[in-house]
Structure 1
Amino acid sequence: MSTPKPDLTARFAQAMECLAPERPSQLGLAVSGGGDSIALMHLARHWGGAELHIATVDHGLRPEAAEEAAFVAHTAGAFGLSHVTLKWEGWSGQGNLQDAARQARRSLLTQWAQQEGLQAVLLGHTQNDQAETFLMRLARGSGVDGLAAMAPVHDESGIRWLRPLLQFTRDELRDWLRARNHSWVDDPSNDDTNFDRIKARQAVQHLEPLGLSSERLAQTAQRMAEARAVLDAAATDAARHICRFEHGDFVFDAAGLDALAQETRHRLVARALCEVASKPYRPRLSALRAALSSASATLHGCLLTRTAKELRITREQNAVKGHSAPLDSLWDGRWRAMPPAQTDLPPGLTISALGEAGLAQCPDRTGWRLPRRSLLSSPAVWLGSRLIAAPLAGFSPNWRFCVREPDESFVLTPYSH
């Protein structure tokens, strides 16, 4: 006879003890109104380990969305919890809707968490989500990284994201809510088979007779995560010998890169692409392979150029074209301007890409610290259309730009900037 599982409140407390042993005092929760996230809110309320802040993202894609956000606000308010609705109005109608919505949701939640000074944000992903994601990525031909389980703890953009429900099933969460007369809202899109996730959800039901239950699929995803950790360690070790960080670019020794196992090579290059583009997710494997087989290619917002001696990864010019930021803020997610000391600066200075117009004003190539293609997408200080400083191209070298250092998984030889 199997041992019965502890009550969900006890299991949730155990999960939080593992994920947040320091017990944060200010904790955010992403609550859509569905059964999983409503259960998350009630379980967190019973846990009582922090002051809770609730946020609902209204994507504006369904007329019911506003009512669902109002339902969450009412439910949270009944228990004295603060609530805010975050509205997304940025979809152009082009591309993958679900992917765009996911990225927008994370961006809105990140901004909210930063503004509120939250130490962590809880997400309501369950064991079922883990299994469905595994199947979807399996169908796309993903490798180890894609098939690896969602991490229970993930740090991104200065926020710690926690998933305490990964060992909970959707059914047991809803049973727990029913037993306590807690209501939730069912999203009608959860029955729409035009979405891959819904197809995967239905497929799991058909696979269970073969032993491929949500629990078994989630276990396999976890084993993939363990394998990924070993592969990451091998890639980190390889980076020490064949890669350098040059004024924001990643430069790989071509012969050394080619000598690596294919999996390690792909892992290193994908990691560099994510660093340069400030993106948390790696590109599709098929696209990565195609880019590596070419002498010059654009991928993931980056430009890859290959010579007999090296592979250089820099920011793609079109990816930063028109992107401007105030002088005192971070540009393109990783560059910050450092003006000369004790200098009176005129108001209205901004940071934008150097581009063709700026580079034309930097004819002395002895001051260039990067190849031409890299300089085109490098940061420069402007006053309207007037170039003020482009230190990487030798223009006003008394200025400096500091670039965010690579992820700690890269152990490289850094260059000054």
Structure 2
Amino acid sequence: MLRDTVRAHLPETLPPRLGVAVSGGSDSTALMHLMADIARREGIALFVATVDHGLRDEAADEAKAVATQAQELALPHETLRWQGWDGLGNLQDQARRARYRLLTQWAEALGLGSIVLGHTADDQAETVLMRLARSSGVSGLSGMVHVRSQGNVSLLRPMLSVTRAELRNNLTDIGVKWIEDPSNRDIRFDRIKARKALEQLDPLGITAQTLTDVAENLERAREALAQYAQDSARQIIRVDGGDLTVDRKGFVGLPEEIRRRIIIAAVTWIAGRDYPPRQSTIDRAQQALSAGQTLPIGGCLLVPDREKTWICRELKPVGELVTGVAEAWDDRWIVTGPVRPNVEVRALGESGISQLSDWRDLGKPRKVLLSSPAVWSGETLLAAPLAGLPGEWHVKLSDKRPEFFASILSH
């Protein structure tokens, strides 16, 4: 039974309040009905959201149609509107990023710890094919994961083993209609090309289900490699505030794949990137770290220091960033202390470090300190807690950032 299949791929104990993202297509519409049944049986409060990307005239009416179905199921519904596209760049990529951002903000506002998404075995198979075309490795070919964190919200995908045909048959059986998005037939998009390619591969036995099975096999391999990378990182890396120090000799002695994973984890954790740098960039970083060379990578900086190398935030991405006290600076630092007029948080930078006389006593390279948060009043440095001048202010990493070693398991 589909409901039992979906439930088996959700956490054993569901939170009391849960979100579900519904576009109105067959996959997410089926998910909404299945989750409504599960929520009724388990006493869960279920909330529905639809993202209107504003890219098609029909989108607003489609969101209203979802709202009507949600109302029939006695579920609260909200339409989230994206108005951020400037007509430049990769539309599908920007729309996807906006969709997750809007859904996460919606969930946080409602106190929802998790959102259930309607990705299917067909989506998984298409993802594997597209990543094959990009020569992806184990992580890429393991496809979409069943659970992924987006800030403080968990994204759950309980239908990755269920095909679109099964879901449509289920909707037909219960007399529920769905919306056909015309963009799903637009072969300008890579995903639609992959969908068409799957139809041609079927005679070879390469189906959505077989590619999903391959992704699951590689996911087990990915988990094993991630565990090895975490164990190795604990031996050669020390966390120093928001920076990392790497023992170069230990790093060089690791297998190349593990070195690659450690660099990706470090850059992602420090710079807060959604996606890792390109493979060629990671390769250069491996070489630079092993050789004790300075190199910027993905908003971070490799800084050699005797037998170790620091991985820290690069100054350039945060050089003009300004927030108030008690606000998140660089989406990871929280500065606490007196809130006064004209007092703000900025990077320490060259002008700040020139006002410190004993920063060398900390034993940190100059370049590492430059990107650290500092408290300013105009051009006067009031505090630099990570550079030896705490004053009346203190700094800590945001609770939204996971502990570094734990974060390795998510890459």
Q: Distance in 2 between the 1:34 and 1:130 partners?
A: 17
Relative to structure 1, the CA distance from residue 338 to residue 393 in structure 2 (aligned partners, 3 Å threshold; closer, same or farther) is same
Deviations 1:337-365, CA, capped at 9 Å, x for gaps: 243xxxx5424543222233333333443
Aligned residue type for 2:229: A
Aligned residue type for 1:357: S
SS in structure 1 opposite 2:329? coil
2:32 to 26, 41, 44: 41
Q: Distance in 1 between the 2:111 and 2:284 partners?
A: 42
Verify the 8 A CA contact 2:121 2:162 in the aligned structure 1: yes
TM-score, normalised via structure 2 length: 0.89
Verify the 8 A CA contact 2:310 2:368 in the aligned structure 1: no
Deviations 1:18-77, CA, capped at 9 Å, x for gaps: 522223221101111111111111111122232211111122222322222222122212
Verify the 8 A CA contact 2:353 2:359 in the aligned structure 1: no
Q: Distance in 2 between the 1:105 and 1:321 partners?
A: 29
Do structure 1's residue 406 and structure 2's residue 370 form an aligned pair? no
Q: Which residue is 2:188 aligned to? A: 194
Do structure 1's residue 59 and structure 2's residue 50 form an aligned pair? no
1:149 to 137, 143, 146: 143
2:275 to 276, 281, 286: 281
Gap regions ≥5 residues in structure 2: none
Do structure 1's residue 78 and structure 2's residue 72 form an aligned pair? yes
Aligned residue type for 2:367: R
CA drift of 1:78 comes to 2.8
Q: Which residue is 2:18 aligned to? A: 27
Do structure 1's residue 300 and structure 2's residue 291 form an aligned pair? no
Q: Distance in 2 between the 1:74 and 1:51 partners?
A: 18
Q: Which residue is 2:340 aligned to? A: 346
Aligned counterparts, 1:262-273, within 5 A:
262-273=256-267
Verify the 8 A CA contact 2:233 2:405 in the aligned structure 1: no
SS in structure 2 opposite 1:55? strand
Q: Distance in 2 between the 1:111 and 1:392 partners?
A: 30
Verify the 8 A CA contact 2:27 2:118 in the aligned structure 1: yes
CA drift of 1:307 comes to 6.1
Q: Which residue is 1:335 aligned to? A: 333
Verify the 8 A CA contact 1:277 1:302 in the aligned structure 2: yes
Aligned residue type for 2:193: K
Verify the 8 A CA contact 1:132 1:201 in the aligned structure 2: yes
Deviations 1:230-265, CA, capped at 9 Å, x for gaps: 111211121122111122111211221111100000
Relative to structure 1, the CA distance from residue 95 to residue 310 in structure 2 (aligned partners, 3 Å threshold; closer, same or farther) is farther
SS in structure 1 opposite 2:376? strand
Q: Distance in 1 between the 2:36 and 2:246 partners?
A: 50
Verify the 8 A CA contact 1:240 1:410 in the aligned structure 2: no
Q: Aligned residues: percent identity?
A: 44
Relative to structure 1, the CA distance from residue 239 to residue 9 in structure 2 (aligned partners, 3 Å threshold; closer, same or farther) is closer
Gap regions ≥5 residues in structure 1: 1-5, 412-417
Verify the 8 A CA contact 1:303 1:313 in the aligned structure 2: yes
Verify the 8 A CA contact 2:120 2:159 in the aligned structure 1: yes
Verify the 8 A CA contact 2:325 2:339 in the aligned structure 1: no
Q: Distance in 2 between the 1:327 and 1:196 partners?
A: 44
**Larger mean Cα displacement after TM superposition, 87-96 or 125-134:** 87-96
1:127 to 117, 121, 127: 121
Relative to structure 1, the CA distance from residue 143 to residue 95 in structure 2 (aligned partners, 3 Å threshold; closer, same or farther) is same
Q: Distance in 2 between the 1:346 and 1:308 partners?
A: 41
Verify the 8 A CA contact 1:329 1:336 in the aligned structure 2: yes
Do structure 1's residue 362 and structure 2's residue 356 form an aligned pair? yes
Relative to structure 1, the CA distance from residue 296 to residue 366 in structure 2 (aligned partners, 3 Å threshold; closer, same or farther) is closer
CA drift of 1:267 comes to 0.6
SS in structure 1 opposite 2:3? helix
CA drift of 1:386 comes to 4.2
CA drift of 1:229 comes to 1.2
SS in structure 2 opposite 1:325? coil
Q: Which residue is 1:242 aligned to? A: 236
Q: Distance in 1 between the 2:47 and 2:236 partners?
A: 46
Q: Which residue is 2:315 aligned to? A: 317
Q: Distance in 1 between the 2:173 and 2:393 partners?
A: 64
Number of aligned positions between the proteins = 398
Q: Distance in 1 between the 2:358 and 2:125 partners?
A: 57
Q: Which residue is 1:414 aligned to? A: none
Q: Which residue is 1:395 aligned to? A: 389
Q: Distance in 2 between the 1:409 and 1:345 partners?
A: 33
**Larger mean Cα displacement after TM superposition, 138-147 or 320-329:** 320-329
Q: Which residue is 1:3 aligned to? A: none
